[in-house]
Amino acid sequence: MAQGFASGECLVVPLVPCVTAPMTHDELLEWSRRAAEWALDYHKSLRDRPVRAQVDYGATATQLPAVAPEAPEPMSHIFKDFEAIVPDAMTHWQHPRFFAYFAANASPASMLAEQLTNAIAAQAMLWQTSPAATEIEQVMVGWLRDALGLAGHFTGTVHDSATTATLCAVLTMRDRAMGWRSVEDGLCGGPRLRIYASAQTHSSVDKAVRLAGIGQANLVKIPTQADYGMDPAALDQAIRDDLAAGYKPAGVVVCSGGTSIGAFDPVAACIAVAKAHDLYTHVDAAWAGSAMICPEFRALWDGVDRADSVVFNPHKWLGVQFDCAIQFLADPAPQIRSLGLRPDYLQTLGQDQIVNFNEWTVPLGRRFRALKIWFVLRAYGLEGLRARIRNHVAWAHELADVVGEMGGFDIVTPCALSLFTFRYRDDAATEALLARINDDGRVYLTQTQHEGQFVIRVQVGQFDCTRHDVMMVAKVLRDLT
Ligand SMILES: *Cc1c(COP(=O)(O)O)cnc(C)c1O
């Protein structure tokens, strides 16, 4: 220590006397133990807590002082406030009866890996800033590619979210369709680009098209067939119509497990149409991709091996906690051509062949996300993870059968893997029932619109849920109607 500061001493002369010594690494050890004990108690308490936060908007903010403290505060005070203010004002995503949205599973092995990532706190932007992060990421992408049964030519990277992966794919579609001129010259004066997707695709596709400067109006929503998958003939017709009208088709986003009701586009047929028109393809399997570790579900995305880009989120169903999205790429070169920059200060001299993952994505700074994948795949094994997903799918079917038999209830869309929707009598009764369910708190469900109707979604996918937890949904529905 050049200045001779003892740890715990104030480094600058404070305006107020330094009553409390700022936190040190020795204290971090003690408080980490306390945090781990708290985490176990919290986890054990989950079934006794309401799943969705039962607080009013603004109630938490008013419990905090309006301005930051000038002087250091002891961790004992901070921790006490955390316990008093935070847990009751959270919706509990690790609650075994969380059936809303999609799960955001955090397995214990993943939590442990994140603790270690926290301790190292590295920036994984370049290979040389974190060699192990880059190389474990490369190996994990390969492990997951093989686990999902994807062809061996795919490489890939780990993003924060599917939204980022889809944005990267759309930016690549854009620049490829522009003959890469857009990278230097921008979009001005160029052709009007078109991107194609079904109405069941996630809003992240709309966002990507906006961010890419292509414009919402140039995202063409292709009609779906009876099973809510994209109609390949309608896709082909839309592309032909656009070509005739002077547009420049750029790419197709294929939906493999939609967020609303779990729609699956016919991947092989959609990609065949796209390839016939030389369009770039991206498959969004953010939720359903995890299920592909089970060979029996892979027919749902048959043909995926011809895709240019595929995204799936281990942070949804695989137990690798948020944030963790994998983008597989048939060839990373086009995406790097769009996004890869090497200013002087980022040159890794004499290392031209080295992978620097920031060149594959939007942000420069990157977290070391691969460690938690490594821990989870080893701690549970693919067989253990498959067993969980198979249980979730089986229990969702069982629950849908029970709900479908109950008076006043209709299954609106059947189980797509572990996701189904139902309604109770009419829109108003369904909406009122949903409010009662979530005020009750034993389970948490959310809604969507399907063909103009208000429906309630049930997705089974929480890492620790049991058959009993799942069947609790039927009991709550009976109790509240
Ligand atoms: C959840 C989801 C997304 C968005 O995922 P993020 O990682 O939150 O960006 C995109 N597409 C589908 C199909 C999803 O289910």
Distance 416 CA to ligand 1 centre (A): 16
Please indicate whether residue 163, judged by its CB atom, sits closer than 6 Å to ligand 1. yes
- Region 401-409: mean pLDDT is 97
Distance 20 CA to ligand 1 centre (A): 44
Please indicate whether residue 102, judged by its CB atom, sits closer than 6 Å to ligand 1. yes
How far, in Å, CA of 54 to CA of 442, rounded?
Answer: 12
Please indicate whether residue 325, judged by its CB atom, sits closer than 6 Å to ligand 1. yes
Nearest residue to 195 (alpha-carbon basis) of 233, 250, 234, 247: 250
Instruction: Name the residue at shortest CA distance from atom 4 of ligand 1.
Output: 162
User: Facing residues of 309 across strands?
Assistant: 282, 329
Q: How far is CA 145 from CA 131, 292, 475, in A?
A: 21, 10, 40
Q: Check residues 231 and 9 and name the one with the higher pLDDT.
A: 231
Nearest residue to 478 (alpha-carbon basis) of 447, 443, 450: 443
pLDDT at 13 over 60: no
Please indicate whether residue 202, judged by its CB atom, sits closer than 6 Å to ligand 1. yes
Please indicate whether residue 168, judged by its CB atom, sits closer than 6 Å to ligand 1. no
Q: What pLDDT sits at residue 11?
A: 54
Q: CA gyration radius for the chain? A: 25
pLDDT tens-place string over residues 247-290: 999 999 999 999 999 999 999 999 999 999 999 999 999 999 99
Q: What pLDDT sits at residue 350?
A: 59
Q: What pLDDT sits at residue 342?
A: 76
- Pocket probe for ligand 1: among 287, 324, 326, the residue whose CB has the most ligand atoms within 8 Å is 287
Structure tokens at 134: 């880059």
Please indicate whether residue 140, judged by its CB atom, sits closer than 6 Å to ligand 1. no
Distance 207 CA to ligand 1 centre (A): 12
How far, in Å, CA of 341 to CA of 361, rounded?
Answer: 10
- Region 448-458: mean pLDDT is 96
How would DSSP label each residue in 299-324? GGGTTGGG-SEEEE-HHHHTS--SS-
Q: Which atom of ligand 1 is nearest to the CA of 313?
A: 7
- Region 98-125: mean pLDDT is 96
Hunting for tokens 């309006």 — which residue is that?
66
pLDDT at 78 over 60: yes
Task: For residue 21, name the pLDDT band (cuts at 50, 70, 90).
Answer: confident
Q: What pLDDT sits at residue 2?
A: 39
Distance 325 CA to ligand 1 centre (A): 9
Distance 260 CA to ligand 1 centre (A): 11
Lowest mean pLDDT among 126-130, 374-378, 430-434: 126-130
Distance 166 CA to ligand 1 centre (A): 9
Instruction: Specify whether the backbone of 7 is left (phi greater than 0), alpha (psi in -120 to 50) or beta.
Output: beta
Q: Which helix (H) or strand (E) holds 416?
A: strand 409-416
Q: What pLDDT sits at residue 346?
A: 67
Share of residues in the chain with pLDDT > 70 (%)? 94
Distance 163 CA to ligand 1 centre (A): 6
- Region 205-213: mean pLDDT is 97
How far, in Å, CA of 130 to CA of 371, rounded?
Answer: 12
Task: For residue 348, name the pLDDT band (cuts at 50, 70, 90).
Answer: low
pLDDT at 362 over 90: yes
Distance 329 CA to ligand 1 centre (A): 18
One-letter amino acid at 450 equals H
Structure tokens at 208: 């990507």
pLDDT at 5 over 60: no
Please indicate whether residue 259, judged by its CB atom, sits closer than 6 Å to ligand 1. yes
Q: What is the mean pLDDT of the chain?
A: 94
Q: What pLDDT sits at residue 117?
A: 97
- Pocket probe for ligand 1: among 101, 102, 105, 163, the residue whose CB has the most ligand atoms within 8 Å is 163
Q: What pLDDT sits at residue 343?
A: 73
Please indicate whether residue 357, judged by its CB atom, sits closer than 6 Å to ligand 1. no
How far, in Å, CA of 394 to CA of 415, rounded?
Answer: 10
Distance 290 CA to ligand 1 centre (A): 13
Lowest mean pLDDT among 340-349, 394-403, 456-465: 340-349
Q: What pLDDT sits at residue 349?
A: 57
Structure tokens at 461: 């996918």
Please indicate whether residue 198, judged by its CB atom, sits closer than 6 Å to ligand 1. no
Distance 286 CA to ligand 1 centre (A): 5
pLDDT at 116 over 60: yes
Instruction: Name the residue at shortest CA distance from atom 5 of ligand 1.
Output: 162
**Strand pairing of 325-329 and 248-255?**
unpaired
- Region 148-169: mean pLDDT is 98
pLDDT tens-place string over residues 302-346: 999 999 999 999 999 999 999 999 999 999 999 999 999 877 776
Q: What pLDDT sits at residue 16?
A: 52
pLDDT at 4 over 50: no
Q: Which atom of ligand 1 is nearest to the CA of 202?
A: 11
Write down the number of H helices and E strands in the chain.
Answer: 14, 11
- Pocket probe for ligand 1: among 267, 284, 324, 362, the residue whose CB has the most ligand atoms within 8 Å is 284
- Region 115-122: mean pLDDT is 96
How far, in Å, CA of 346 to CA of 348, rounded?
Answer: 6
Instruction: Name the residue at shortest CA distance from atom 7 of ligand 1.
Output: 161
Share of residues in the chain with pLDDT > 90 (%)? 91
Q: What pLDDT sits at residue 341?
A: 83
